[in-house]
Amino acid sequence: METAPATDTLPAFARLPINRCNLPPVILGGLTFQRHPAALEIDGIRALHAALFQTLDQLPTPAARALRFMDYMKANFRLDHLEDAGYRPGSAGQRGKADYLRMLRGWFFDADGQEAAVLKSWVESRFGLLPRSHGGPLGDYSGERFQHYLAARARGLYNTNALESQFDLLFTYCQYELRRSRPEMHHQRLFRGLNALQQHDILRRPGRNRALMLLNNLNSFTASRDRASEFGDYIIEIAAPWSKLLFFPDLLPGLLKGEEEYLVIGGVYEVGLSYF
């Protein structure tokens, strides 16, 4: 039996040995997973929040389910009553308002900012995929740029209200909603504009307009090729497994207005490559 080239698997330098979901990093981060995806589940989340998903099963529309999810987030994490989570008005260093929605808005504003560092750190912890870029390539994990990333994620997580647990539930709800509302689909065609192509992890080029790329552990994409062209000279096109989506447009309608981005968990992807 023919074996896949080594570059089709997730390189050891881009992964942790363990993670907190149902598939190991080397599997979920490889090219085979992109082509033949399976469901991804963070350990224990569906069981811990079983009452939420039982309630969602009874609601007929995505809008109603989104409202119920957001209400549940407020109640479960006491987002409107931070004193119940241990916060005292006037105390120094209190960052209770740094919730999942503010982190998403921060990412959409600056994918190399502090909020983005927190989200990349969550992907690293839950899926075992190391970040490949933050403010520039992170080729050397002992280098100064990586130290800046570590500092940013530490600042972003310090004294917050269970942020990573909020992301766990956001991802689980996103996956629930995709399976519920569009069960027949497994991939989404998405685009991203890039500059300085040589700074990205291209593992091999099987054709002039095709490449195997190691993407960052979390990435923004759009469903519009024209929109992607506004952000770079090169456009990459992927078939993103739905099981690797953390967020898609209209997941939380009316709350993140104007954002048409998909947040895609990374790994090795086969991409179409074109020059705009």
R_g of the chain, CA atoms, integer Å: 19
Tokens representing 106 are 């921060």
Asked if residue 212 belongs to a domain, the reply is: no
Question: What residues make up the domain containing 78?
Answer: 45-181
Structural domain contains residue 266:
no
Q: pLDDT at position 256, please?
A: 66
Among candidates 7, 39, 12, which has minimal Cα distance to 26? 12
More confident residue, 56 or 183: 56
CA separation for the pair 64, 149 (Å, rounded)? 38
Name 266's Cβ contacts closer than 8 Å, sequence gap at least 6: 29, 123, 129, 132, 214, 215, 216, 217, 218, 219
pLDDT in tens, 16-25: 999 999 999 9
Please report whether residue 128 resides in a domain.
yes
Is 130:124 a contact under the CB 8 Å cutoff? yes
Q: What single letter denotes the amino acid at residue 186?
A: H
Residue type, 116: A
Tell me: pLDDT of 86 over 60.
no
pLDDT of amino acid 161: 82
Q: What percent of the chain has pLDDT over 70?
A: 90
H or E element at residue 207 = strand 201-207
Paired residues of 202 in beta bridges: 213
Q: Is residue 220 part of a domain?
A: no
The pLDDT score that the predictor gives to residue 87 is 59
**Residue 1 — pLDDT band, cuts 50, 70, 90?**
very low
Would 87 be classed as within a structural domain?
yes
Q: What is the pLDDT of residue 200?
A: 87
Helix, coil or strand: residue 202: strand
Which whole number is the average pLDDT over 104-129? 96
pLDDT computed for residue 7 by the predictor: 60
Q: How many domains does the chain have?
A: 1
Contacts of 54 (CB under 8 A, 6+ apart): none
The pLDDT, as a whole number, for residue 171 is: 98
Structure tokens at 36: 């033949």
Dihedral sign of CA atoms 239, 242, 246, 247 in order: positive
pLDDT digits (tens, 9 = 90+) for 194-230: 888 778 899 998 888 999 999 999 999 999 999 998 8
Q: What is the pLDDT of residues 235-268, one digit of tens each?
A: 999 999 999 999 999 899 877 665 689 999 999 9
Least confident among 80-89, 119-128, 174-183: 80-89
Within a domain: residue 156?
A: yes
Nearest residue to 7 via CA among 212, 236, 211: 212
pLDDT of residue 196: 80
Q: Indicate if the pLDDT at residue 92 is higher than 90.
A: no
Q: Is 136 within a domain? A: yes
Classify residue 21: in a domain, yes or no. Answer: no
| 2 band by pLDDT with thresholds 50, 70 and 90 | very low
Residue with tokens 């269970």: 162
The confidence score (pLDDT) of residue 76 equals 92
Tell me if 255 sits within 8 A of 16, measured CB to CB. no
Which amino acid is it at 95? R
Q: Which residues pair with 265 in a beta bridge?
A: 218
**Residue 274 is which amino acid?**
S
